Amino acid sequence: MKVTVVGAGAVGASCAEYIAIKDFASEVVLLDIKEGFAEGKAMDLMQTASLNGFDTKITGVTNDYSKTANSDICVITSGIPRKPGMTREELIGINAGIVKSVSSSLIQHSPNTIIIVVSNPMDTMTYLVHKTTSLPKNRIIGMGGALDSARFKYRLAEALGAPISDVDGMVIGGHSDKGMVPLTAHATRNSVKVSEFLSEDRLNQVKEDTKVGGATLTKLLGTSAWYAPGAAVSGLVQAIACDQKKMFPCSVLLEGEYGLNDLCIGVPVILGRNGIEKIVEIDLSEAEKAHMKESAEGVSKTNGLLEL
């Protein structure tokens, strides 16, 4: 099992670290355009192998895509990160060119790979990969919902005063501050609906805190977060590599599901060795359907800024 991570910045390096620590991949290739940067990160990470007990080989390369050949899974994290006050959508002009070039180079050396897109605005970058490559739709996945759901569960556990292992919940919709649809009505604490424990006002606060989760961290850190994004990607990679058939909300190309067409947006999917094994359609309330429709309109508007 060979995994390539493009972009050795904070998110990419964090992603490579979590994949290595989980010890399911034989090799992780970390690629960056900055001379020696990925090599340095890879060496630093490899020096933790004996301390963290993993045998995954981490290789760093500077812009040499031949070293990524025959990768089973490729993760694209490259692009400029958010700065305080920036929306994910404002990154589109620069990041579209980067993602298009990177995906083309990856597929040239690994035609049967599965691509996971992390670069923002993620739903639109995932759609771009669909429109500019010949990969089948089950092999192009956008990572946003797994991260947003982790942030949702963090806020739910905080509100409940419960351990996170007790809490389950999911966020669907666009990976943007306005586009996220946290499914509070479906969220549970050990199979009991969280509405049994929390007032409607407190649940609404959890929902709003979840939606600005990324912006909150950008304001505190001065740049995008990296630990949780890296962990979320590693979860998707492991589910695919180990054929776990796990359900995650991911940005995928919809063709009629949820009444939506010709866009990528976060919905629950089953992940396995073929990438997206199945898109799961769940029953939504009228309010959730309205939020999802509004979210889709926002994603479509951003897609319209692409120069395809």
Note down pLDDT in tens along the chain; length 308 residues: 999 999 999 999 999 999 999 999 999 999 999 999 999 999 999 999 999 999 999 999 999 999 999 999 999 999 887 777 777 677 788 899 999 999 999 999 999 999 999 999 999 999 999 999 999 999 999 999 999 999 999 999 999 999 999 999 999 999 998 999 999 999 999 999 999 999 999 999 999 999 999 999 999 999 889 999 999 999 999 999 999 999 999 999 999 999 999 999 999 999 999 999 999 999 999 999 999 999 999 999 999 999 87
Q: pLDDT of 82-106, one tens digit each?
A: 777 777 677 788 899 999 999 999 9
Place of tokens 């597929």: 107
Q: Give residue 223's pLDDT.
A: 86
Superfamily of domain 2-143: NAD(P)-binding Rossmann-like Domain (3.40.50.720)
Q: At what angle do helices 286-303 and 122-132 cross, to 10 degrees?
A: 60
Q: Give residue 307's pLDDT.
A: 83
Residue extent(s) of CATH 3.90.110.10 domains in the chain: 145-304
DSSP 174: -
Q: Give residue 308's pLDDT.
A: 77
Q: Are strands 261-272 and 275-279 parallel, antiparallel or unpaired?
A: antiparallel
Instruction: Report the CATH number of the 145-304 domain.
Output: 3.90.110.10
Q: Give residue 88's pLDDT.
A: 66
Percentage helix, strand, coil for the chain under 3-state DSSP, each rounded to 5:
50, 20, 30
Q: Is 7 annotated as a binding residue?
A: yes
Q: Give residue 93's pLDDT.
A: 81
Q: Is 151 annotated as a binding residue?
A: yes
Is 5:77 a contact under the CB 8 Å cutoff?
A: yes
Q: Is 155 annotated as a binding residue?
A: no
Q: Is 201 annotated as a binding residue?
A: no
Task: Extract the tokens encoding 189.
Answer: 């604490």
Q: Is 118 annotated as a binding residue?
A: yes
Q: Give residue 84's pLDDT.
A: 77
As annotated, the active-site residues are 175
Q: Is 212 annotated as a binding residue?
A: no
- Going by C-alpha positions, the residue among 78, 69, 24, 59 that lies closest to residue 273 is 24
CA 90/CA 202 separation, integer angstroms:
31
Q: Give residue 85's pLDDT.
A: 77
Q: Give residue 90's pLDDT.
A: 76
CB atoms within 10 A of CB 66: 9
Q: pLDDT of 186-198, one tens digit each?
A: 999 999 999 999 9
Q: Is 231 annotated as a binding residue?
A: no
Q: Is 52 annotated as a binding residue?
A: no
Is 266:175 a contact under the CB 8 Å cutoff?
A: yes
